[in-house]
Amino acid sequence: MGTITLNKVEKWFGDLQVIKGVDLEIGDGEFVVFVGPSGCGKSTLLRMISGLEDVSRGSINIDGNDVTDKLPSERELSMVFQSYALYPHMTVGENIGFALKTAGLPKAEIAEKVKHAAEILELTDYLDRQPKALSGGQRQRVAIGRAIVREPKAFLFDEPLSNLDAALRVQMRFEISKLHDALKTSMIYVTHDQVEAMTLADKIVVLKFGEIMQVGAPRELYERPDNLFVAQFIGSPKMNVMPLQSDAGTSDFGGKKKIKTPKDAQDIGIRPEHIILCTKAESHLSGKIEFVEYLGADTFLYIRLPNGSQVLARTSDTKVFEAGNDIHMSFDAGNLHFFDAQGLAVRD
């Protein structure tokens, strides 16, 4: 089992509160990702779960047992850090089995557990090598293997891919996802990269200044964000947000068609891929192209509207676009998002 429950958890450093009354339930076998900008408290929250940081107020329960005041070694969790922290003078096999050796387990049992972990991580052919003979991705797999052999109730990952190049990060995301499918063990993963969060998570926890902004499946956060922060943080490129300039139930963005807006809405949001290029007669928005990014399969168009707002449109149209040209856009009303003066989603 690996159920983890946080009850009104707070963390204070002197007079500074960095975690602000977090309530969270992590189910057995779930892959949960903490995501947010630098300084949002995601790593601090992970370290509190692991026991590496004290809890100022509130409680943490693992499988129904209060572990708030327990030492890290008593929580039956394994943590994988950004740094591999491998022993350079030991082989891969010795690194993976080191924690079991210090715990006094028999050599035969250690060998069996190391062999099993190596098979899962495809490291069997590297067990006799030293870390210096491995690639960055292989070293990270060794660090994960060191966690696997302890058979923890949950794995905690603190930005484990930050030291890898882009290609290796993609490969290691795949490896970690396969690992979760194979082990069926709870995993909590910290990252500032929302692409990692979207591709790995069963459930995403979006944090801002020590508070949870929204918890949900990746698709739920992408399609139904609860607030402006989540709407613009989740998704790459981010959602376009434009201020409404009319309280009469419609708003004018230079197109021939008006946009129906709900009561209390102050801002309107539309994702770049939901903008459709069209004729002037069919348009909800019209503007002038300021900048063009051609990326092969897609082209990004940065467009200035008459009211001064800028929108980004994503299109697979093979037409050649040029800065300075007029352009007309439309969209399905079902893809629009509205937010009130407090930045909260307004839904009919």
Strands 186-191 and 154-158, how do they pair? parallel
pLDDT at 287 over 50: yes
φ and ψ of 254, to 5 deg: 90, -10
Residue 83 or 275, more confident: 275
* pLDDT exceeds 90 at position 160: no
User: pTM for this one?
Assistant: 0.89
Residue indicated by tokens 């370290």: 47
- For 10-61, the pLDDT digits (tens) are 999 999 999 999 999 999 999 999 999 999 999 999 999 999 999 999 999 9
Dump pLDDT digits (tens) for 138-153. Answer: 888 898 898 888 889 9
Q: How far apart are CA 68 and CA 308, in angstroms?
A: 52
Q: What angle separates helix 136-148 from helix 107-120, to the nearest 10 degrees?
A: 130
C-alpha to C-alpha distance for 293 and 323, rounded to whole angstroms:
10
Strands 31-35 and 337-339: unpaired
- Nearest alpha-carbon partner for 22 in 207, 218, 192: 207
Q: What is the largest CA-CA distance in the chain?
A: 78
Q: In the structure encoding, which two tokens stand for residue 218, read together?
A: 């990746």
Domains of the chain: residue spans and CATH: 4-232 (3.40.50.300), 237-339 (2.40.50.140)
CA distances from 168 to 23, 161, 164, 171, 295 (A): 34, 8, 6, 5, 21
- Measured CA to CA, the distance from residue 278 to residue 41 in angstroms comes to 44
Band of pLDDT at residue 251, cut at 50, 70 and 90: low
Average pLDDT in the 260-267 region? Answer: 88
Q: Using one digit for the tens of pLDDT, what is the confidence trace for 65-85?
A: 999 999 998 999 999 888 888
Give me the pLDDT at residue 239, please.
96
User: What is the distance between the alpha carbons of residues 236 and 336, in angstroms, rounded to a whole number?
Assistant: 17
Give percent above pLDDT 90 in the chain.
67
Structure tokens at 281: 């007669």
